[in-house]
Structure 1
């Protein structure tokens, strides 16, 4: 792994199925000269595409972690044409702690940062940008959250992973199920809290939202006789994301609204 301080226990050039850790340097008071173990699996069989699948970027979203682990366990190199690299807990500290972001706050000279957005010159701090800068085709998916595992989302994640492998001719024996179609959306914006309190959502994910519609309330139990703050939407579309935690403070995003990227077929 040239150009990085991260080392790998897995030989990515070797054929077959191999597992180990990426060693991310992490030297702290309790453990000098140590490293963070990021689990990695490489499954390689002959020539063909190379596909990297990562999960656990947000540590409290579990369906992707389980789906990628299932692939690692079930697939053998004889099933594939090409190479599959699997990272089920790419943000290992966050995934281990069950937190959205890493609990590590040490002032270190190096950190494993994924960057996203933009093109080859982007410096945004997510995985998408890192892929773009290196000319790698990348697809991102938000799966679950709220610290739970949802069977429907897990099933969709596993079906999606198998369909991608099949579409790339990497899983020739797989027979995909019937496609259900995907609704293409563009994010219009988020709705933020301006006061602290308890957020009561009035919209579920996927529900239609109109401009000016009441989408939630913020209650103030510390002043129980106070009327709740009424939250209206400045955007029109559907509720794409909804805050899972009830407690909010000024600046917290409560809902994200999206609209169709193209006219829907009637």
Structure 2
């Protein structure tokens, strides 16, 4: 494992982690913040490193949003179950990247309202969320050969169980992303524009030249056991394919190809009114342009019929709003066109 090639490499503090050592280490990175609760203390970012020595390095991040749970559970299982003798490289696991949000069960940090997946590259001298982004970007990304960023829909939405990848940043990396998606074996794969969210870990990975994929593992502020079981089968297969997991470790057989979808600007069906959201379609359902997919019922105007909203494009219902109460600007569903990945 090579040392990070950044000027800030010596500034971050870790407890319990020696990046030059082998074995299983459990520790945390330090985030400094002074307020009524955290004065004269640190905010720990839990971190585990399991290493057999030389070989490729996989960085697995969960808990970027505190109300996304499937990835957090998977990360904790990997920490408990992986042993150095099973590896031909190193696995670094961050199970609660935005630990204040994880403890609060919220999407963003309750300390500074920071959304970690909009905060990269971060700032070492900034607020807590910026510090976490800087710690990962400056001190962990440069050590990694591969990153998987584990997300779910959170409390506000539900996704089809999907691998989620940004296009690019170049053709060789794109082809490696496609291979990783197939190895992981989730039923769906959603493709989005290059650097879709400039402040995300996926964008940070692409900019750093590190192979990075993400997931959207259902959501709704709970745990989907089917998505979790699929990930339990797929993660060993993925790590073995990357050369991190020893070949003699049992792994699932080849996964079927995913159903490829593409999120485009026209995917979102957005409410123009406030009220009670009634879905007219289900996740995974195929719809046509012009088809009614949602209604919003007015709360106070008792004699007013609901407003109906239609899909703008043909495709598959890929994301659905979870809370029933909505307002103007709320995305009700996303419809994703099917994608022939062999022609892109």
**Fold agreement, TM-score > 0.5:** yes
Partner of 2:231: 157
**Taking CA–CA contacts closer than 8 Å with sequence separation of 6 or more, which of the two structures ends up with the larger relative contact order?**
2
Q: Aligned partners of 1:49 and 1:214: how far apart in 2?
A: 49
Partner of 1:113: 133
Q: Is the 8 A contact 1:6 1:25 kept in 2?
A: no
Structure 1 gaps of 5+ residues are none
1:208 to 2:286 alignment: yes
Deviations 1:61-91 (A, max 9, x none): 1111101111110111111110000011112
1:91 to 2:103 alignment: no
Q: Is the 8 A contact 2:234 2:252 kept in 1?
A: no
Deviations 1:189-212 (A, max 9, x none): 211111111111111111111111
Partner of 2:117: none
- Structure 1 23/197 Cα, relative in aligned 2: closer, same or farther at 3 Å? same
Q: Aligned partners of 1:82 and 1:256: how far apart in 2?
A: 39
Note the C-alpha offset of 1:32: 2.2
- Structure 1 224/177 Cα, relative in aligned 2: closer, same or farther at 3 Å? farther
Deviations 1:198-235 (A, max 9, x none): 11111111111111100010012322332111111112
Structure 2 gaps of 5+ residues are 115-124, 138-164, 171-194
1:119-158 aligned at under 5 Å gives the runs 119=169, 124-158=198-232
Count of residues in correspondence between the two structures:
264
Q: Aligned partners of 1:106 and 1:249: how far apart in 2?
A: 21
1:229-248 aligned at under 5 Å gives the runs 229-248=307-326
1:34 to 2:41 alignment: yes
1:187 to 2:263 alignment: yes
Q: Aligned partners of 2:68 and 2:24: how far apart in 1?
A: 26
Structure 1 length-normalised TM: 0.90
Instruction: Give the structure with the larger helix fraction.
Output: 2
Q: Aligned partners of 2:126 and 2:81: how far apart in 1?
A: 38
1:13 to 2:20 alignment: yes
